Chains A and B, each alone.
Chain A
Amino acid sequence: MAGMTISQKILAKKSKKDFLKAGEIVLADVDLAFANDITAPIAIDFVKRLGVDVFDKNKVALIPDHFTPNKDINSANQCKIMRDFVKERNLPLYWETGEVGIEHALLPEQGYIKPGMLVVGADSHTCTHGALGAFATGMGSTDVGFAFATGKSWFRVPESIKFVYKGKRNKWVSGKDLILYTIGKIGVAGALYKSMEFTGDAIRDLPMEGRLTMCNMAVEAGAKNGIVEPDDITIEYLKEKGIGEDEYEILKSDDDAEYSDVIEIDVSNIEPQVAFPHLPSNTKGISEIKEDIKIDQAFIGSCTNGRISDLREAAKVLKGNKVAKYVRLIVIPATVEVYKQALKEGLFDIFLEAGAVISTPTCGPCLGGYMGILADGEVCISTSNRNFVGRMGSKKAYVYLSSPAVAAASAVAGKIIHPDEVVK
């Protein structure tokens, strides 16, 4: 009998099986189920129609992050459905405007994600939480409504692709660049239905926030989940939140676990990456861009790159520089904690001096909601995760994806550029 991958082990444990192989379908117990202001109303309706309580008040989270602070009347009504439900059922895991942040930044930051957990969320970027060694995957509202009511969800046990990252990262190369490079290599359906397991020395060397960024975009390759085996960085990250090693179980892939593919990537050959419109897989190394790509807007934020380390990288580039004429630079810290920390460190002074505008936490422009919508023909460089047609506004706009450092440098230059060109 072959061994199991970390993903298979978590699903086996949660479905009370000794062994699972890829392709089996199991009904498993979830440790956390959550939804946002767009997806929650349908999930809440599911629970109400059943006429039951949620399965465990401490394992159901409702996070109004997409169109908050309320962007219009309909959005306000959707948030009200969530708030009324939370009040009526006295559910503790709810964050009001003023406390709320982008769900996939907020939950790990607040210590709700631990290794070995099974996490489902009504948002495709739920795969972010695999960075902590949890099995986390996005679903629709009805699936999450089912989890709210029953505490269970069904899973087809995924095959896994093992990605082995070797070597040392170059200057300005972040988790974002590694994942963009990887998606460029395997394509937007390269890991369809599968698990992406990120391993190797370069991952062991990558800080937690870089790992969160990588797992966040696993769905952009079609994956069910992205996952990193817990290590000292994971243990340290949790310790800082007051979560001791006795509060979770560390599972690791067996040496003889079966993988559908093993892909080795030497990160010392990777430079800052840019994904061209209209797919996250249309990536190029920044030195391969020969033409001038003028930009109208740069956006630094989202569940992919709105954390404190992302803002620090952007500030390194923006310090003492000005945003180019007619370019809008929009900075959105992902959570209130990130906002406070950035303020405390003086990053806001750097952003404001440069001519950026800073918004309260929201998903906002990433999905074309508000706070930075693009007009016909406009070009945006964004640290978010998708550059599909119409994603950030007009379907005639063009979105390029990059790291915060590249987005910040491009805002200064008015065109897509290597950070070294700005930070001399």
Chain B
Amino acid sequence: MKIKGKVWVYPDNVDTDVIIPARYLNTSDPKELAKHCMEDIDESFAKQVKDGDIIVAGYNFGSGSSREHAPIAIKASGVACVIAKSFSRIFYRNAFNIGLPILESDVVDELKKGDEIEVDTQKGEIVILKNGKVFKSSVIPEFMQQLIESGGLFGYAKKLLNV
């Protein structure tokens, strides 16, 4: 998959409490959650984010609470992909399970808000369009490739249970 979009830049340790504060967790409706996405770290995000934008961040993105509402809110905001230096493990699984593409790369160090990048998720390659610099990202582990081929965790469950 190739994704081209403008970036939103965030620091290390963006936790799921700032991605979607617990005061909004009395629902799991993606549209409702998207209205408050990133509210406690960046009030402008939910108002200004456009379909196809990309979030880039530092280490340990998605730390803290296991709330799946965090990647759901990001995906429902129209964000096409999240690229961070590293992810907390629960967020990593959750994003993957709901079909939000995520990649590990240090590209954030070279980016400012609004810069444009092009991401090739298969090749694990990120190009910064303003200067042509190319960054490598992690590739998706084989087991998880299989999950994708089964149609995600839901498809995999259907296969396992033969339903």
Contact = CB atoms under 8 A, between A and B. Distances in A.
Interface of A: 25, 38-39, 41-42, 46, 49-52, 66-67, 71-72, 74-75, 78, 122-124, 126, 138-143, 146, 149-150, 152, 154, 156, 188-189, 192-193, 219, 222, 224, 279, 367-369, 386, 388-391, 393, 395
A139 to B, nearest CB: 6
Contacts of B109: none
Given A368-B21, A388-B15, A139 B66 contact: yes
B27 interface: yes
A141 B28 CA distance: 11
B41 interface: yes
B44 to A, nearest CB: 14
A385 to B, nearest CB: 9
B18 A388 contact: yes
Nearest to B85: A189
B60 A188 contact: yes
Contacts of A124: 64-66, 90
A103 to B, nearest CB: 12
B160 interface: yes
B88 A389 contact: no
Q: Which 6 A/B pairs are nearest by Cβ-Cβ distance?
A: A74-B26, A140-B94, A140-B68, A390-B40, A124-B66, A142-B97
Nearest to A149: B157
A192 B89 CA distance: 7
Contacts of B143: 25, 154
Given A142-B98, A388-B64, A193 B21 contact: no
A336 B28 CA distance: 28
Contacts of B94: 139-140, 142-143
Nearest to A35: B66
Nearest to A67: B26
A142 B89 contact: no
Contacts of A122: 66, 68
21 contacts: A66-B25, A71-B26, A74-B27, A139-B93, A140-B66, A140-B71, A140-B90, A142-B97, A143-B94, A149-B157, A150-B157, A156-B141, A188-B60, A189-B63, A189-B86, A222-B63, A368-B21, A369-B22, A369-B25, A391-B17, A393-B23
B89 A193 contact: yes
Nearest to B60: A189
Given A50-B163, A78-B26, 7 more contacts: A122-B68, A140-B67, A141-B68, A142-B97, A142-B153, A222-B63, A389-B41
Interface string B71-94: 100000000000000101110011
Interface residues of B, number: 41
A388 B90 contact: no
Nearest to A49: B154
Contacts of B22: 38, 367-369, 391
Given A192-B89, A368-B22, A25 B13 contact: no
Contacts of A393: 23
Interface in B98-124: 98
Contact of A42 (B13, B28, B93): B28
Nearest to B18: A389
Nearest to B24: A74
B1 interface: no
Contacts of B40: 389-390, 395
B67 A143 contact: no
A10 B41 CA distance: 39
Contacts of B17: 367-368, 386, 388-391
A140 B97 contact: yes
Nearest to A395: B40
Contacts of B156: 146
Contacts of B66: 39, 122-124, 126, 138-140
Nearest to B143: A25
A71 B26 CA distance: 9
A17 B71 CA distance: 33
A250 B100 CA distance: 40
A222 B59 CA distance: 11
A107 B121 CA distance: 41
A224 B163 contact: no
Contacts of B68: 39, 42, 122, 140-142
B153 A368 contact: no
